[in-house]
Homo-oligomer: A and B are copies of this chain.
Amino acid sequence: MTTTGKQIFTTLESDGTLTVEVATSETPEPKGNQVLVKMEAAPINPSDLALLFGQADLDNADYSEGKIVAKMPEPFNSGSKGRHGQRMPVGNEGAGEVIATGDSDAAKALMGKRVSCVPGTAYAEYAIADANMCLPLGDISSKDGASAFVNPMTALGFVETAKMEGFKAIVHTAAASNLGQMLVRICQEDEMELVNIVRRQEQVDVLKGLGAKHIVNSSDDDFMKQLRNAIDETDAFIGFDPIGGGKAVDNAFKAMEQVAVGKMPEYSRYGSNQQKKMYIYGRLDLSPTVLTPSYGFGWTLSGWLLFPFMQSAGKETVARMRKRVLENLTTTFKSEYTKEVTLEGMLEKDAVLQYRQMRTGEKYLVTPHG
């Protein structure tokens, strides 16, 4: 027996026409380790936006009730060839009530419970999720449990990565985001030093309010000096950057190298021996990443994604991380939302143009059942 409900789909045609719409869909019966979740809340994360809209021209799109038709400009349309013609569900994560299950013990144990889940189809009234990826929320509301996966596991993943690679301090750019605030709290708990780079005074104040020790404002004239000082005090030679484009990574490498060279007893044409690592985990800025030849050859820049990280970290580490998230969901891993929208409300022009900016502190929550 299938369950009928509303769901958001995004479809890009080869001519560059992008259609995002609320449609009626049939969710199949859960099998084996699957559960059927009545979705109550789902956050709009940057990774969701990439699939939902990509680089489509949303200022000049056609908006009607529960439907957007927009144009995807080049080179992004050609670059998305792989999805041409495919009608794709959206929504990485969310929370809701388990109303049916497959016949595995893990699935059956969740019957009737409120859970956070990672269905990949969360912008829907009903979604099929893997029982192993569900966290039973107990007394915690679906709203508080909606973002229990992407941001918490990513922020924890940074600290795990830094520890695995032998670093004792981290640089984080765009550090005042929901994820950045979580990272501040995690690092305080784990006694990992953290250099927070932000670009506005309000963001400095937000992080100060959380007790962050090292906050650097990239809009200040002496930004690079501030950054060098913070790295010098903390030995932060690993960093995570959600911006991607421009000089965010370059600035971090430069400051790291200048600090390291300052500690060398003699000149080397090859630069310092200090290994410098940066990870790009998002693309808030789609312009090219620019790396200047000013920090020798002792550096590594890599992409960072949650699922490959989880695979390489192994089951035990991931289970430990998940447990920590669940136990601290309303404190360390708390998310804040600016606004709640229904599935239809999510596709209204005003809402779209606001949440698509991905501005710090402006996060939307989708409530599929209103």
Contacts and interface: CB of A to CB of B under 8 A. Distances in A.
Interface string A274-292: 0000001101001011111
Interface string A252-269: 000000000100100111
Given A261-B82, A267-B82, A269-B51, A297 B305 contact: yes
Interface residues of A, number: 41
A294 interface: yes
Interface in A290-325: 290-294, 296-305, 307-308
A303 B293 contact: no
A305 B301 contact: no
Contacts of A308: 273, 297-298
A357 interface: no
A244 interface: yes
Contacts of A330: none
A252 to B, nearest CB: 14
Contacts of A270: 305, 307
Contacts of A219: none
Interface of chain A: mostly helix, strand, loop or mixed: mixed
A50 interface: yes
A293 B261 contact: no
Given A82-B264, A264-B82, A269 B47 contact: yes
A83 interface: yes
A280 B297 contact: yes
B294 A303 contact: no
A201 interface: no
Interface in A197-225: none
Given A82-B261, A82-B264, A304 B293 contact: no
A166 interface: no
B288 A283 contact: no
Interface string A77-94: 001001100101000000
Contacts of A307: 270
A351 B297 CA distance: 29
A245 interface: yes
A288 B291 contact: yes
Contact of A303 (B267, B292, B299): B299
A50 B297 contact: no
B293 A290 contact: no
Contacts of A267: 82-83, 86, 88
Nearest to A250: B288
Contacts of A268: 82
Nearest to A90: B269
Interface centre among A82, A250, A299, A304 (most CB of B within 10 A): A82
Contacts of A47: 269
Interface centre among A83, A267, A269 (most CB of B within 10 A): A269
A113 to B, nearest CB: 30
A288 B299 contact: no
A330 to B, nearest CB: 30
Given A245-B293, A300-B301, 9 more contacts: A47-B269, A82-B261, A83-B269, A86-B267, A244-B293, A289-B291, A296-B303, A298-B303, A299-B302
The 8 closest A-B pairs by CB, nearest first: A297-B303, A289-B291, A82-B267, A300-B302, A51-B269, A83-B267, A297-B305, A288-B290
10 contacts: A82-B268, A83-B269, A244-B293, A289-B293, A290-B290, A290-B291, A297-B304, A297-B308, A299-B303, A300-B301
